[in-house]
A and B are shown apart, each in its own frame.
Chain A
Amino acid sequence: MKAFAELYLRLDATTSSNAKLQALRDYFASAPAGDAAWAVYFLAGGRPRQLVPSRLLRELATEQAGLPEWLFEESYQAVGDLAEAISLLLPENPHGTDEGLAIWVEHHLLPLRGQPGEAVRERLPQLWSKLDRPSLMLCLKLVTGSFRVGVSKLLVTRALAQLAGLDAKRVAQRMVGYTDLSHRPVAASYLKLVAPESDDEHQQRGGQPYPFFLAHALQLPVEQFDSALGAVQDWQVEWKWDGIRAQVVKRDGQLWVWSRGEELITERFPELHSLAATLPDGVVIDGEILVWKPGGDGIAVQPFALLQQRLGRKTLGKKLLADAPVMLQAYDLLEWQGEDWRNRPQHERRRQLEHLLEQHPLAPLLLSPLLTGDSWADLARQREASRSLGVEGLMLKQREALYGVGRTKDMGLWWKWKIDPFSVDAVLIYAQRGHGRRASLYSDYTFAVWDGPPGAAQRTLVPFAKAYSGLSDEEMRKVDAVVRKTTIETFGPVRSVTPTLVFELGFEGIALSKRHKSGIAVRFPRMLRWRHDKTVEQADDLATLQALLG
């Protein structure tokens, strides 16, 4: 635990990738395989489900720290992170145990899950008293499932590859599915990650997908595309679908569907199960799961909100399946006849994918259509139809691009060229202190628009969105100061303020909602800019939002 806590501190103390890489290498070079197995799991984003309910954790910590409940709550709000707050309030054991990460996770922490409250009450303080402060914070982060530190999976992969003398892509391939809930890391699983290359590597992968290749955001005026991207003919252009990125793997008569988070989601989408029978073996397709329904001029893609409803449900009832049927927009072929095709150029993979779908005009599979244009300006014009088509913009894929790993740029490029977000001018009415870097700063805001047009008698502000990103640190500090000065009331962590600040809010989608006071829900709201030039009276009203609903 100490060694892992030390690694955490080193990773947390720097923003340099090289320093992080060095810290990872140092750790893995000396960690026992059992500890290393769990370290990879946590660093690569694996999270066991919460082991102890937060409420119980708070009660216990409040008791142990000898504080009144309200003071614990105040402290927590100032820190902005439960695990850290508790670690700052509990008495510290300066020595701390030398037991390793695996022992802690397997013998001390995981067994807590599902224990009756009384047993946890007795056990947890004993465990806490064994740890020095860094280990204590880490332990709490593991218990609450909130462990996060600024390293990418790619960086972990590189560290392991360097140590083991392997190609990073090989390690990435072996790591696929490592953090899936069904997988429990043990020494052997770590040793497999760093084992020497073997001949039957390909055979051993079972239902594993390939690491997803990700696109970069393109934020340039279209006039600069020619110089930055080159000729339009060198690019394969598609719509950017707004669904769930997924790989469909068909091998040995069996079908697996994986999400981009490398979670197995086969069971979530029974519509795709027929592919087990219809797709040939040794095929991996990359695409997007979307809800498709008859409507308008035929069958059309439905808003993400509908897909989201499906994700929220534990069981998929008949009605839900009928209301929100899915299909897969296929856009890439990663494996064909059991062979890894990722090192073939984009256009070749595409041709084979078209070929496959011609032979198998399969119901749940659609071929993501290509767009053609004789210039970037022409494509920009076509892109304007995005919103009415229910897509997010265009994807630009180099025709010669190989299929990379994550956000690599050395094997070819994918750009996402998204349309500008919706925007309205809204008024800040509530503020709450943030988490992490924003701890103790009022940085999470609720925004409102007017419920009537300018001049309407007694119009009021109706909250419709929360946002916390988009401001610079400097702006955030200024807003924080205004919030503190204009507070009307404080309820728990939230302050209501005299409306004085107007922001342009951007969001990706908008839908009717019964759960919101305004009757409207927006997707990915964030602050685009601070409208110093607008008074509160000049902010938008509900009619503006309703018009965006179309």
Chain B
Amino acid sequence: MDLVIARPEGLYCPPGDFYIDPWRPVDRAVITHGHGDHSRSGNRHYLTATPGAGILRSRLGQGIDLQTLPYGERLLHHGVTLSLHPAGHVLGSAQVRLEYQGQVWVASGDYKVEPDGTCAAFEPVRCHTFITESTFGLPIYRWPAQAEVFSDINAWWRANRDQGKASVLFCYAFGKAQRILHGLDEHIGPILVHGSVEPLNRVYREAGVYLPETLYVGDLPRNDPMLRQALVLAPPSAGGSTWMKRFGDYSDGFASGWMRLRGARRRRGVDRGFILSDHADWPGLLWAINASGAERVMVTHGSVNVLVRYLSEQGLDARGFVTEYGEEDDVPAAQADA
């Protein structure tokens, strides 16, 4: 029996009668993480991993009917044993493990295999069937070590500071921004953030993640000399807006896995692309799939066809799942949260 099937509302567990990250309102929704394409509003009842509660409430409203479950703890629902396990993607992100009549399925949501210190590290979970994402499902995507990327960001910031220029780094406000804050050298200069980043910083700090001191850009006068030494974290949507004018002469960068391609960086029109993703790269996907021990793999959002074909050639029973996740990943229009 299939423990997860694709329905118009989203991925559905028939014996348990609940959905995983549904894209249309349903009664019971298990949420793998708080990014917009995975956690939508309007569901009657939510279940998510305990560390993700703050994020979900800040994004969907304090009043949602939310149940939380610590990582690894089991919950029995309609005969289905459900537990949540770290996915290493963003704070509170989880893989959903389902067990029913001896069959184990794991739905991974989005995941990253390299630990980054801002969320619980990815844990492989053994299963019969593994549902994997495929955002970066092509062998051209191989991430450099993050220490190397952070040292590049630091060097860029330092060089700009020495020239009296602000360093504006575009990144997704939830997850990527906090990971950058956690990883960079806070002694280079002041760190400023856009209004959409600060509320998420608060949630991370409350969850006990160390982030250096940040200032809200809007609190500074426009000609404050601090602007010329600062690193500024802003969502991609701020690029090209009047908000940018306050920085005068600045250098800009973009932090995303898509920056691995020269064309993607040039299309962004930024000075620097930093290859930093909260998704698994190609070797990471293959490692996680292998570590799950699954014989059957269901592939969602990203390079579905490529990964299905590749895994099939490796002797696995691989199929594609049509979902509405990761539209933001697939369509280069908003390659922001990767």
Do the two chains belong together in a single complex?
yes
- In the complex, A189→B95 CA distance in Å? 64
* Complex interface residues of chain A between 424 and 475 (CB less than 8 A to chain B): 435-441, 473
For residue A222, give the distance in angstroms from its CB to the closest CB of chain B: 34
Q: Contacts A81-B262, A84-B262, A441-B332 hold; do A67 and B139 have CB atoms under 8 A apart?
A: yes
For residue A510, give the distance in angstroms from its CB to the closest CB of chain B: 32
Q: Chain A binding site: helix, strand, loop or mixed by DSSP? A: helix
Cβ contacts A to B, 20 pairs, < 8 Å: A71-B138, A71-B306, A75-B138, A79-B140, A80-B263, A88-B261, A89-B139, A436-B262, A436-B263, A437-B263, A437-B267, A438-B267, A439-B261, A439-B262, A439-B263, A440-B264, A473-B267, A477-B332, A480-B331, A481-B333
For residue A468, give the distance in angstroms from its CB to the closest CB of chain B: 14
Cβ contact within 8 Å between A88 and B140 = yes
Cβ contact within 8 Å between B271 and A78 = no
Nearest opposing residue in chain B for A442, CB measure: B332
- In the complex, A34→B260 CA distance in Å? 32
Q: Does A491 lie at the interface of the complex (its beta carbon under 8 Å from any beta carbon of B)?
A: no
Closest 4 CB pairs of A and B: A439-B263, A88-B140, A477-B333, A437-B266
Q: Contacts A74-B306, A78-B140 hold; do A435 and B331 have CB atoms under 8 A apart?
A: no
By a CB distance below 8 angstroms, the chain B residues around A68 are 310, 313
Interface residues of A (CB under 8 A from B): 12-15, 65, 67-68, 70-71, 74-75, 78-81, 84-85, 88-89, 435-441, 473, 477-478, 480-481, 484
Give 6 new A-B contacts, CB below 8 A, not counting A14-B271, A67-B139, A70-B309.
A13-B271, A439-B262, A440-B261, A440-B332, A441-B332, A480-B333
By a CB distance below 8 angstroms, the chain B residues around A14 are 271
By a CB distance below 8 angstroms, the chain A residues around B261 are 78-79, 84, 88, 439-440
Give the residue among B142, B262, B331 with the most A Cβ atoms within 10 A: B262
For residue B148, give the distance in angstroms from its CB to the closest CB of chain A: 10
Give the residue among A15, A435, A437 with the most B Cβ atoms within 10 A: A437
Nearest opposing residue in chain B for A92, CB measure: B142
- In the complex, A88→B332 CA distance in Å? 20
Q: Does B272 lie at the interface of the complex (its beta carbon under 8 Å from any beta carbon of A)?
A: yes
- In the complex, A484→B303 CA distance in Å? 13
Cβ contact within 8 Å between A71 and B139 = yes
By a CB distance below 8 angstroms, the chain B residues around A78 are 138, 140, 261
- In the complex, A436→B263 CA distance in Å? 5
For residue A140, give the distance in angstroms from its CB to the closest CB of chain B: 13
Nearest opposing residue in chain B for A485, CB measure: B331
Nearest opposing residue in chain B for A137, CB measure: B262
Cβ contact within 8 Å between A85 and B140 = yes
By a CB distance below 8 angstroms, the chain A residues around B271 are 13-14
For residue B158, give the distance in angstroms from its CB to the closest CB of chain A: 16
Cβ contact within 8 Å between A89 and B140 = yes
For residue A92, give the distance in angstroms from its CB to the closest CB of chain B: 9
Q: Does B9 lie at the interface of the complex (its beta carbon under 8 Å from any beta carbon of A)?
A: no
By a CB distance below 8 angstroms, the chain A residues around B266 are 12, 436-437
> Beta-carbon contacts of B324-338 to A below 8 Å, as 1s and 0s?
000000111100000
Cβ contact within 8 Å between A484 and B330 = yes
- In the complex, A13→B262 CA distance in Å? 10
By a CB distance below 8 angstroms, the chain A residues around B306 are 71, 74
- In the complex, A481→B330 CA distance in Å? 9
- In the complex, A437→B332 CA distance in Å? 12
- Cβ 8 A contact of B331, one of A81, A88, A473, A484: A484
Give the residue among B264, B269, B271, B332 with the most A Cβ atoms within 10 A: B332
By a CB distance below 8 angstroms, the chain A residues around B262 are 12, 81, 84, 436, 439
- Cβ 8 A contact of B263, one of A74, A438, A480: A438
Nearest opposing residue in chain A for B156, CB measure: A13
Nearest opposing residue in chain B for A19, CB measure: B271
- In the complex, A274→B35 CA distance in Å? 75
- In the complex, A18→B303 CA distance in Å? 40
By a CB distance below 8 angstroms, the chain B residues around A65 are 139
For residue B334, give the distance in angstroms from its CB to the closest CB of chain A: 9
For residue A213, give the distance in angstroms from its CB to the closest CB of chain B: 30
- In the complex, A438→B142 CA distance in Å? 21
Nearest opposing residue in chain B for A433, CB measure: B263
For residue B258, give the distance in angstroms from its CB to the closest CB of chain A: 9
By a CB distance below 8 angstroms, the chain B residues around A12 are 262, 266
Cβ contact within 8 Å between B332 and A75 = no
For residue B145, give the distance in angstroms from its CB to the closest CB of chain A: 10
For residue A364, give the distance in angstroms from its CB to the closest CB of chain B: 45
By a CB distance below 8 angstroms, the chain B residues around A80 are 263
